[in-house]
A and B are shown apart, each in its own frame.
Chain A
Amino acid sequence: MLLIKCPYCEEERPELEFRNAGEAHLVRANPIIEQSDDDFAGFLYFRQNPKGLQFERWRHIHGCGRFFNAVRDSVSDKFLTVYKAGEPRPDLNTLLSPVAAEPEPPATKRTRAKKVEV
């Protein structure tokens, strides 16, 4: 069970209180009625689903009830950041740089074993 920081409650809460709400930053056209078939299809059906960092929506449905956005690594499940609905999409390079600056884990002389997923 993940811990997710709610930007409104300003603390980490258990995943059980949250509901994922799909990809973030999809733009509902205005006026939507004039949107082309292709653009509307993209809005309705096509999603990024990347392996790695993804922008996604969550709702703290069993908490404060608010929708918010998050950047999460779909491989490690780690959240890089969360931000309120309506706030701009954070820049990934800025987000990633402090991580890159972090010291490596304690050095080890051991060679790394090939790992097999089962």
Chain B
Amino acid sequence: MSTANHSGSNRIPGAGRLTPAKTVRFTFDGQSLTGLEGDTLASALLANGIHLVGRSFKYHRPRGILSAGSEEPNALVDIERDKSRKQPNVRATVQEIYDGLKVKSQNRWPSLTFDIGAINDVFSPMLPAGFYYKTFMWPKFAWKTIYEPKIRAAAGLGVVPGEPDTDRYSNRFAHCDLLVVGAGAAGLTAALSAASTGANVIICDEQAEPGGALRYESDVIIDGVQGYEWAAAAIAKLRAMNNVTVLTRTTAFGYYAQNFVGLVERISDHLSNPASDMPRERLWQIRAKKVVLATGAIERQMVFANNDRPGVMLASAARIFLNQYGVAIGRKVGVYTSNDSAYAAAIDLKRAGIDVPVIVDTRDNPTPAVVDAARSLDIEVLTGHAVFSAGGKRRVSSISIQRTRGGSERKVAVDALIMSGGWTPSVHLFSQSRGKVAWDAANERFLPGTYAQECVSIGACNGTDGLQATLDEAFAAGGGKGKAIVATGGTNWIGGMIGSAPGAGADTTVKAFVDFQNDVTAKDVRLAVREGMHSIEHVKRFTTNGMATDQGKTSNLHGLAIAAEALNRPIPAVGLTTFRAPFTPVTFGAIVNHARHDLFDPTRRTPVHGWHQTQGAAFEDVGQWKRAWYYPQAGEDMHTAVNRECVAVRNQAGIFDASTLGKIEVVGPDSAKFLGLLYTNPWEKLGVGRLRYGIMLREDGFIYDDGVVGRLAEDRFHVTTTTGGAPRVMHHMEDYLQTEFPHLDVWLTSTTEQWAVIAVQGPKAREIIAPLVEGIDMSNEAMPHMSVREGKICGVPTRLFRMSFTGETGYEINVPSDYGRAVWEAVYERGKPLGLTPYGTEAMHILRAEKGYIIVGQDTDGTVTPQDAGLTWAIGKNKTDYVGIRGLLRRDLVANGRKQLVGLKTVDPTTILEEGAQIVANPHQPVPMTMIGHVTSSYWSENCGRSIALALVIDGSKRLGETLYVPMPNGVIEVEVTGTVFFDEKGERLNG
């Protein structure tokens, strides 16, 4: 490894586009290094002569930098800003450097250069594809406890961060006429063309710099200017247009139905000190009328022995490092190719003063022009030859060359090798869009075939060869008028080879890598076929080829070709994997974006919430609501506080925040008729000013919701629902109103949040409230139990309900929400001297259970009928229709042996049953016992001086007085079956 100086010893003065004066310091495994602003981590490491960047997944082989783009399978590193902002498996070819960047290599111990795990490489004959499926079979328990953890520790790449991510992420929905993916020559031309028509255009590119291949093409002239300069001018022009959005460092990762495309914009990963407000990434959810895919092509490696040695890289990558970043990847660079494009790389390197000893071309008769061009620069060209092995361990040191048909071996010393197996059109997004690819047999590549969406592929990803043809196609795709742009030069994308090159043949035991990231060799693919995998999807799973985070961008075609060869079947018959989103890995942060911390889910608070807080209330989550659970006083635990609250309600009075109850205002002349169809109860005869408890069923006859309904006028009802049931009850009612009973003149409006609801319950309830109320006669005679009146309280309008969920005389004061807090405080101040005590949901639950009032969802579970729950009285006997009426007649619902709601009293009054505990008739029967029911509600009742419980028990109503048993881990609990009312059985207190 050479030592770093300035921006790296391999930086070639005058080459590249970075500014030498703008240096950046960063560290790699603790070593302090310098690069230039605009460098990727890969270019900066190479500038410093560092090729060894990581260790491989399975064999821990030394690995370098294969590519210069997002397809990189090898150079994966760990980036850490601080403990919580840490990212494993970052591609060094994508990450830009910044001052203070801290980089660590992965999958090595104790160090990158000396890695114990590399022993796997020595033992690799014992570790073929699928080895762990066969090897670690016995003993069975050891897989989970020993084998899998060990294998997972030995294999694998980065380490997940241990702390929550503190970065911000954001989201943006956007719409456009045209989305252009890729800002190379094709994408820029399409965007310019479309923008000139006034269309709303979004163009994105995953790179920091636009241009695509123009970043390294040295001989391209467009519109009379050098290619990269044309691209820079084009992007500047687009940025200046109001109808164009340019997104760089932005990857289109997913292409979904109806031209819905997901993009991730990396906003701060390249910045040294991003502002705290700045999101790290922004998710763009784009709906485009038309999508132009200009995603280019990805160069393939040559598959030969030890093609994974650091210093062996794609020819186009070497060209980018040279022409964009001014970095020489070596001083003596060999070339191994099977197509024309690598010649241009060789020539660029040679012209930059780098020794290029030899071009090894597998073809017997390459294009004469490129061969002549190379030879004119004194580069030796060996046609019909192959590199059958690369020498060196932590850096390639030599290549062994042989005629493709065999013969004598020649060794050439090199310090880098560039290779090109040809170009794979990037059809990933096209495939994600549900387009069907077609096999271009002449050029051995898959191309867009049948489109499924309003989308067009242009340029290299469409198999369009030649720059002028690409620009013509791009211009047309953009829909612009006038003449297309004129260009010369550029890479020839066709040619090359797929599958293993000579020297990686069937008989070798060498490692010729197909998939670098998952350590899959040509031999593994052949083994898979020998083991009986005949479909590419089986081969893929057996070998894990293409299943790493790079999704096989460089390996899929090679693997397919090797499998096809071994199967002796044509490639299209073996099949191609369908590409799935995401194109490159996407952070969870980007997917979650704003939905973190307070924005993870809405937290709903009642208008009185602040008061509960001042009283030190404990809160309970009920759906998204925060409800006051109990109000502990100094020295009280929950049990003590709840007992005190329960007793106070029965002896004096309690005040309870019931604002979360669902409320629906039902208005219209047919309201009573409509409610009659939605509830089991009769409503037509309910008088104005009266309340009724209603039960709502589903069509199957089971209880769906319950609540008290008040009639405010002939044509106006105030319906309440359970807290959790409010949205679904509204949906259910709208469904029937709109689709089954549309002839009824009724409208529904949710008023849940219009009203704050203050329940005042207990013998002193009237005494407390009455003085604050105006315009309502609250006497027992004028306002009996289950009635509603409208008037004023504390000077503001109220709907005053006389009702009770505690069994005590009680009122529920509805006031417009903004007044809730003030009215609550006024009532509390007035009642405090009389013993008024705030009580929470826990006391509410106990008080209602003492009275045997059910809670839908606790004492019912979606299989309970009104009869099961002891609510037969709530069914209108003379009704001919309501939702659930037919369901209730089903044979199973009227049969004997249904579970019915009963009370349970433990023989030992201090024992409190567990909710959900199972009930048996005979505790001495063998396990598994026949269970005849379960406990639905169970509490300590201070008012009863004992525990109480509700339970659903088979034929429960016939078992009153029976003794049943609740088997628990530490003994059997004996219980007596009782009625469901434990307190004030006659209900006299309601009318106090």
Assess the B731–A114 pair: CB atoms within 8 A. no
Assess the B449–A114 pair: CB atoms within 8 A. no
Instruction: Pick from B190-198, B362-370, B884-892, B945-953 the stretch touching chain A.
Output: B884-892
Assess the B738–A67 pair: CB atoms within 8 A. yes
Assess the A111–B441 pair: CB atoms within 8 A. yes
CB B474 to nearest CB in A, in angstroms, measures 16
**A110 touches which of B449, B540, B574, B578 (Cβ 8 Å):** B449
List 17 other contacts, CB 8 Å, given A28-B699, A31-B881, A116-B575: A2-B257, A30-B881, A32-B886, A33-B881, A33-B886, A44-B700, A61-B731, A65-B734, A76-B452, A108-B450, A113-B449, A113-B572, A113-B576, A114-B572, A114-B574, A115-B437, A117-B578
Which residues of A are found within 8 Å of B740, using beta-carbon distances? 28
Q: Does A50 contact B (CB under 8 A)?
A: no
- Whole-angstrom CA separation of A37 from B892 in the bound complex: 11
Assess the B449–A108 pair: CB atoms within 8 A. yes
Assess the A112–B449 pair: CB atoms within 8 A. yes
Assess the A37–B890 pair: CB atoms within 8 A. yes
A-B contact pairs, 6 of them (CB 8 A): A1-B285, A108-B438, A111-B439, A113-B436, A113-B575, A116-B576
Q: Does B148 contact A (CB under 8 A)?
A: no
**B885 touches which of A33, A44, A111, A114 (Cβ 8 Å):** A33
Task: Tell me the B625-651 residues at the A interface (CB within 8 Å).
Answer: none
Which residues of B are found within 8 Å of A81, using beta-carbon distances? none
Assess the B440–A110 pair: CB atoms within 8 A. yes
CB nearest neighbor in A for B450: A105
> Do most interface residues of chain B lie in helix, strand or loop, or is the interface mixed?
mixed
Which residues of A are found within 8 Å of B574, using beta-carbon distances? 114
On B, residues with C-beta under 8 Å from A are: 173, 256-258, 260, 285, 287, 434, 436-441, 446-447, 449-452, 535-537, 540, 572-578, 580, 699-700, 731, 734-735, 738-740, 742, 880-881, 885-887, 889-891
Assess the B434–A76 pair: CB atoms within 8 A. yes
Task: Tell me the A83-118 residues at the B interface (CB within 8 Å).
Answer: 85-86, 105, 108, 110-118
- Whole-angstrom CA separation of A61 from B730 in the bound complex: 11
Assess the B450–A112 pair: CB atoms within 8 A. yes
Which residues of A are found within 8 Å of B572, using beta-carbon distances? 111-114
- Whole-angstrom CA separation of A116 from B573 in the bound complex: 10
- Whole-angstrom CA separation of A110 from B447 in the bound complex: 8
Which residues of A are found within 8 Å of B441, using beta-carbon distances? 111
Give me the 5 closest cross-chain CB pairs, A-B, nearest first. Answer: A110-B438, A116-B575, A113-B572, A32-B886, A114-B575
- Whole-angstrom CA separation of A74 from B536 in the bound complex: 27
- Whole-angstrom CA separation of A61 from B728 in the bound complex: 11
Interface-centre pick from A2, A35, A61, A112 (highest chain B CB count, 10 A): A112
Assess the A112–B438 pair: CB atoms within 8 A. yes
- Whole-angstrom CA separation of A65 from B727 in the bound complex: 13
- Whole-angstrom CA separation of A107 from B29 in the bound complex: 55
- Whole-angstrom CA separation of A14 from B174 in the bound complex: 12
**A118 touches which of B260, B578, B891 (Cβ 8 Å):** B578
Assess the A113–B437 pair: CB atoms within 8 A. yes
- Whole-angstrom CA separation of A97 from B432 in the bound complex: 28
CB nearest neighbor in A for B536: A116
Assess the A67–B735 pair: CB atoms within 8 A. yes
- Whole-angstrom CA separation of A117 from B885 in the bound complex: 47
Which residues of B are found within 8 Å of A21, using beta-carbon distances? 735
Assess the B891–A37 pair: CB atoms within 8 A. yes
Contact A35:B576 (CB < 8 A) given known A76-B434, A85-B738, A105-B450: no
Assess the B580–A118 pair: CB atoms within 8 A. yes
Which residues of A are found within 8 Å of B739, using beta-carbon distances? 57, 67, 85-86
Assess the B438–A115 pair: CB atoms within 8 A. no
Write the A16-44 contact mask toward B (1 if CB under 8 angstroms, else 0). Answer: 00010100000011111101010010011
Contact A86:B742 (CB < 8 A) given known A76-B434, A113-B449: yes
CB A19 to nearest CB in B, in angstroms, measures 8
**B881 touches which of A2, A32, A37, A61 (Cβ 8 Å):** A32
Q: Does A9 contact B (CB under 8 A)?
A: no
- Whole-angstrom CA separation of A30 from B257 in the bound complex: 40
Assess the B257–A77 pair: CB atoms within 8 A. yes
Assess the A2–B885 pair: CB atoms within 8 A. no
- Whole-angstrom CA separation of A25 from B434 in the bound complex: 31
CB B452 to nearest CB in A, in angstroms, measures 7
CB nearest neighbor in B for A30: B881
